[in-house]
Amino acid sequence: MLRALYREHGGPLLGYVLRLTGGDRTQAEDVVQETLLRAWRHPEALVGRPVRPWLFTVARNLVVDAHRARRARPPVTDIDEQAAATAGSDDIDRALESWTVAEALADLSPQHRAVLVETYYRGRSVAEAAEALGIPPGTVKSRTYYALRALKLALEERGLAP
């Protein structure tokens, strides 16, 4: 049955779908294939009615559905290519930034560096950093303030800070 449908209606159906898809042959062939597959799955829909109008209607609905689906989603890009380009440059940029930050940290005084390491890199609270460093919490706060200012200047000198 499917072969007979294709022989009789395949050519005109493909031409019709090509016009609907703007000449995209791959999409048109997919639509024709799906249309014939639906005719095969639902032979009762073809009984007692002209077959070609039913096939053309199904094909048109498939094209409209595909168009709506494409509009509802962001455009498809070559993700592998994009990810490779982005990942490579991101990894290099991150490595360069971390080296620059490490150099800027090395330029800070040992007290400022220690406070920043405890509060930012180890994620400790002011009280925990004060206990770990053996200094009062107020000193941790003020050293953190001045250490961040000094770090910002060091990063600006290296062209990293905004």
Give the CATH number of the domain where residue 102 resides. Answer: 1.10.10.10
User: Residues 116, 153: one domain?
Assistant: yes
3-state secondary structure 113-151: HHHHHHHHHCCCCHHHHHHHHCCCHHHHHHHHHHHHHHH
- As a whole number of angstroms, the distance between CA 108 and CA 151 comes to 7
Please report whether residue 79 resides in a domain. no
Do the domain assignments include residue 78? no
Quickly count: other Cβ atoms within 10 Å of residue 95's Cβ.
10
Assess whether 68 and 6 both reside in one domain.
Answer: yes
| SS3 (DSSP) at 154 | helix
* One domain, residues 51 and 100: no
Q: Does 100 map to a domain?
A: yes
Q: Looking at the structure, do residues 45 and 99 belong to the same domain, yes or no?
A: no
DSSP string of 57-126, one letter each residue: HHHHHHHHHHHHHHHHSPPP--HHHHHHHHHHHHHHHHHHHHHHHHHHHHHS-HHHHHHHIIIIIS---H
126 belongs to a structural domain: yes
Q: Looking at the domain assignment, is residue 77 inside a domain?
A: no
Do residue 150 and residue 113 come from a single domain? yes
pTM of the model: 0.46
Number of domains in the chain: 2
Domain with 121, as residue range(s), is 94-157
Q: For residue 162, is it within any domain? A: no
Query: Is position 137 within any domain?
Result: yes
Q: Is residue 64 part of a domain?
A: yes
> Same structural domain for residues 61 and 6?
yes
> Rounded to an integer, what distance in angstroms lies between the CA atom of residue 136 and that of residue 1?
88
pLDDT per residue, tens digit, the chain (162 aa), is: 778 888 888 899 889 999 988 888 999 999 999 998 888 888 888 888 888 888 999 999 999 988 888 888 766 566 555 555 555 566 777 787 888 888 888 999 999 999 999 998 899 999 999 999 999 999 999 999 999 999 999 888 888 765
